[in-house]
Homo-oligomer: A and B are copies of this chain.
Amino acid sequence: MKRAVVLLSGGIDSTTTLAIAITGGYEAYALSFDYGQRHQLETEAARRVATSLGAKDHRIAQIDLRVFGGSALTDDVAVPKRRSETEIAQGIPVTYVPARNTIFLAYALAWAEVISADDIFIGVNAIDYSGYPDCRPEFIEAFVKLADLGTKAGVEGRRFQIHAPLIKLSKAEIIRKGIELGVDFSLTHSCYDPKPDGLACGECDSCLLRLKGFREAGTNDPIRYATI
């Protein structure tokens, strides 16, 4: 069975990506990060999802992104609330974490090399997250070149593949795809700024995109929100 490392945050996109890898016949090695998120809900969701979908292994790497600052997701900067679709679509948001996907893919590559996997799955999406430079197809292609040049495996002739199966899908299409593959979205977590009791805020960009996605997919979001 072919092995693949799958980056898993425990949100809608990475969960659907894990389901795609597994139904595609890969033995999935799920990789999550504890990077000084404001809350541990994200890694807990990743844990639930990995178990539920039958990942072969799941590791959580402790990494330190707070050491530099520079993002609302790692610093004490306010997460924007109730932004309109136009506002969300414009520019690079304060929730952008510098070089995050470069760091995540570098770790995925390290694990892939150790377990002799040639395939890495990442749930990046260039539609809803057009503001994030490291979610674009050309970024992924540049990483593949780097992976082949920068590893023992690459030098020995193995060729890495980075799969980004959601890159051109809308959130509604991702949700439909996930449901089709049997994903239980009640296990997932998306909110950037959850309430103390763990409920999603319903107002940050991530909640708004998620809710819109479920609306457009014509189905209910199974998680509970503080505001709804």
Contacts and interface: CB of A to CB of B under 8 A. Distances in A.
Interface of A: 59-65, 67-70, 92, 96-103, 106-107, 109-111, 113-115, 133-134, 136, 138-139, 142-143, 145-147, 149-152, 154-155
A102 B142 contact: no
Query: Of residues A97, A106, A115, which shows the largest number of chain B Cβ atoms within 10 Å of its Cβ?
Result: A106
A99 B92 contact: no
Given A98-B109, A102-B109, A114 B149 contact: no
Contacts of A142: 142, 145-146, 149-150
Contacts of A109: 98-99, 102
Contacts of A96: 152
A69 B150 CA distance: 18
| Pairs of residues from A and B, 9 with the lowest C-beta to C-beta distance, nearest first | A70-B114, A99-B110, A98-B113, A134-B150, A98-B110, A102-B106, A103-B106, A142-B146, A99-B109
Contacts of A63: 61-64
A119 to B, nearest CB: 15
Query: Of residues A60, A97, A111, which shows the largest number of chain B Cβ atoms within 10 Å of its Cβ?
Result: A111
Contacts of A64: 61-63
Contacts of A146: 102, 139, 142-143, 145-146
B150 A68 contact: no
A70 B152 CA distance: 12
Given A146-B142, A146-B146, A152-B92, A113 B99 contact: yes
A150 B106 contact: no
B106 A133 contact: no
A101 B134 CA distance: 19
Nearest to A101: B150
A110 B114 contact: no
Nearest to A155: B133
